[in-house]
A and B are shown apart, each in its own frame.
Chain A
Amino acid sequence: MKIESSAYFYATNGEVLKNLEDLLSFLNNVDEETFFNHVNSEKNDLANWTRDILNEKRLSNKMFKTINRDEMAVYIEERLEKSGEGGVDKKSVISKLVEAIS
């Protein structure tokens, strides 16, 4: 999905986010202060943007429930995986590993 540049997320450190991939990388790399400018006990700009601009309602609901960046990143990863490509089936590898040990 393409969004207008006016709808991009402009972080206080100058970073510009256009999609979920950018948001994930932002969460993984941004400094504490910038993160705190956008996500704190008062507000969650990232979740707002995800809901209002990216139209990711379900994901943003999860994001609103936390101010922990790692947790937020995991939610986004999960969301991206769902729309991602194939490869080995993680679930089946894991269940085989579990089976082999027990």
Chain B
Amino acid sequence: MVEGKIFGVVALKGGVGKTTVCANLGTALAIEFDKKVLIIDANFSTPHLGLHVGIVNPEHSLHKIIEDEYSVFEGIYEHALGFHIIPGMLAPEGLDYNKLKEKIEPLKEYYDYILVDSSPSLNQEMAATMSASDEVLVVSSPDYPTLSSTLHAIKIAKEQGTDIRGIILNKVRKKRFELNPKDISEASDVKVLASIPDEIKVQAALAKMIPIVSFSPTNEVSHIYKKLAADLIGEKYRRSLFGRKKKKKVKEEKDEKE
């Protein structure tokens, strides 16, 4: 039995990269660190997590679990990339979002990490993700409007009493006109955990519905995601020029010695 941790991936702004972060962290944790990972699409109004990982029209969807149509276990898909996923489909109005927590909390026994993708709107969907999470990761980008939304999201998390693990700064172009990680961490009083470059390959990967961590493992963005995953779980990541480490082999050698 494991005692897993639930990370909510949030932002009060559309399109900053929440879903991309979920898909890539999920993939990195599963394939690079051999963790049991579940990613959940709790963006009930624009559920697109499946589309980032090759699931187009799932039969099962989180909202049906919340509506007690079937158990949470029946709604889980095993993905070829090693993680498990509960995808989402457009949810009907009046769904009781508050049940999200009671539905996913028991899964902590089975997974090391659960990542919850959330809605960008300031509504009950977002509140449900925050209260279901042990810690939130706030996705941001280096401009004033997004900083403003980030400050707002952090304020709400604090009001709800949800721990904030840190900010993931996405779509960074390293331009002089951009806000830098220091500006953002000073303004928010929250640590910037990673700066992810704006990288066309992220979109190329989306077009293939494969997270970039798997689509292009040696891309700088993939290294940064893997380093971030390592930091989140207190492990070390050493980048190799050849992509994925031969973890299994190392483990076999270790087992042999024992």
B47 at the interface (CB under 8 A from A): no
Residues of A near B187 (CB, < 8 A) are 94-95, 97-98
Q: When A and B form their complex, what is the total count of cross-chain residue pairs whose Cβ atoms lie within 8 Å? A: 43
Instruction: Give the interface residue-count category, chain A.
Output: 20 to 34
B151 is contacted by which of A77, A78, A101 (Cβ under 8 Å)? A101
Alpha-carbon separation in the docked complex, A97 to B154 (Å): 13
- B220: nearest chain-A partner, CB-CB: A32
Chain A, interface SS category: helix
- B174 and A28 form a contact (CB under 8 A): yes
Instruction: Give the interface residue-count category, chain B.
Output: 20 to 34
Contacts A32-B241, A74-B180, A94-B183; A101 near B155 (Cβ below 8 A): yes
Chain B, interface SS category: helix
A16 at the interface (CB under 8 A from B): no
- A24: nearest chain-B partner, CB-CB: B174
1/0 contact trace for A68-94 toward B, CB 8 Å? 001001100110110010000010011
Task: Name A's B-contacting residues (CB within 8 A).
Answer: 24, 28, 32-33, 70, 73-74, 77-78, 80-81, 84, 90, 93-95, 97-98, 100-102
Task: Name B's A-contacting residues (CB within 8 A).
Answer: 144, 147-148, 151-152, 155, 174, 176, 179-183, 186-187, 195, 218, 220, 239, 241
